[in-house]
Structure formats: structure tokens, C-alpha cells
Amino acid sequence: MQNPFCISKNKLKKLLEAKTQERLLSQIEKFKDSLPLEEMFNQMEQGSGVFDDSMSKDTTKFTNKTENVEAFLAIDLSDMYFPDEESKICFEMKKGFSSSEITFDELIAGVECDTHIDCSVKGKEKSFYFQIKRYPQAYLEHTTESITKYIKEAVGGYGDMTGTILVILLQPNTETPSEIDFPKIYQNLQSIKDKISFQEIDFIFNDKNQYIIWHQVFPESGHYKKPLVLLSDRYKKEQEKWKGK
């Protein structure tokens, strides 16, 4: 990284929480003359109504911005690679970026796009560097074969990525990518292993609102999961509904 900015995991979490609160208050302000506050929160909990629709559209707009998603994912990566440390998360920033008291929007606006390293996480003794890609939900199948093809094409598009971990974020239309055989993907990649310079190739996805799953397919095959902690009462109910399925 040529112009890194590092922030503690807990500080980044607080910036995200403040941004989430800001987005909610903005929607409340938008509907304050037409809906009582209690009705707004009822609609959010039930998942229906004009206020809930507006919140959903705002969330979609927010998550369509790659840098926003990378910030969320960087926190998950920090939890997974340094579960027992208060690690730091670093991003490559544009020239002239100021790191004084900063908001989430200012951080995102300062992130440099199209870099070989999207973020890094640092502990007391180790650092890990990540290139993050979102597997396109809209037009690619979530199958073992299509994902293997996607990885082979993605690897061919990079130069030397020694020391960098490729993280692929799955966002399946179904609740869990049950049709994907990750050990099979690992086997499929053995035919091109000498052409892969990435330190690791890993997947991350939400499994039925219960866990965040990390699944490695190169250089080894393995997985790890951490419980998904949800703050919204609505999504807590969704989480309970999917428990055990």
C-alpha cells in the first residue's frame, strides 16, 4: 500500500453504526408527516409497507457501492483472522486524504479504487492483505462449475499477487449456496495451482442468517464460521425462523 489509512476494528464498527443510524433518521424525516413513528417501526419489524419499502431501497443503494461492502467485509475478516486481538484495518487512500476526525462517508470517499490490495488487517505480529471480489449475483449461477470457471478467469486477470488473499463474497439468491461443493472447487483448482500466485483463495457468505462462513479452496480446503450477531428485531426473528433448517 502506497498511501494507507489504518483504523481500529472497533472504531470502524462505530463509524458504521453511526452511518446506519444516520440512514434510519433520514428515512424517518422523510415520512414524519405521513406516518407515526410507531407505525414506521412496525412496518420494519413486519417487513412490509411504504416505510419498509423505502428502507429496503436505501439499503440496496448503500450495498451497491462496492467500498461500503468492503468496509463491512473488512470487519468480518478482522474477526476471523484475529479473533482474540483488537486489530487494525487499513485501506489504500487517494492522494490528499485527511485522517482527522472522520465520518464513514469521508472514509469511503477517500478510498482508492481499482487497487491490487483492497484492504489489510493487522494484528500485533502479523498482517494479511486482501483483494475482494463480489461474485455477480444477477447473472452467474451459484454452482460448483460456474464458480470454478469464474475463479480461473479471475486469476488470469491479475499479475503477481504474492502475499495477497483473494476473498470472494457470495451473495446467493437462495438462503445458502447449498449447490456449491467447495472441496470439489479445491480439487478443480489443482490443475492450475502453479499459475495461482494468490496466497489464499477464500469464500465468505451468510448462511441462513446464523453464521458468517469462511471457506478456503486454495491452497488447502477448509472452513470456519462465526455466529452472526443481528441488532434488528426483525432480522432476529428471521434468524430464529431459519435456526435448525
pTM, full prediction: 0.85
Please report the pLDDT score of residue 230 as a whole number.
59
Please report the pLDDT score of residue 174 as a whole number.
47
**Given pLDDT bands bounded at 50, 70 and 90, which one contains residue 88?**
very high
119-122: strand order across its sheet: 4-8, 88-92, 119-122, 127-134, 164-169, 200-207, 211-218, 222-227
Q: Are 31 and 40 in contact (CB under 8 A)?
A: yes
Please report the pLDDT score of residue 3 as a whole number.
84
Domain-wise residue ranges, the chain:
1-115, 135-245
pLDDT at 245 over 90: no
Residues 162-167, mean pLDDT to the nearest whole number = 96
Please report the pLDDT score of residue 242 as a whole number.
47
> Peptide bond before 183: cis, by omega within 30 degrees of 0?
no
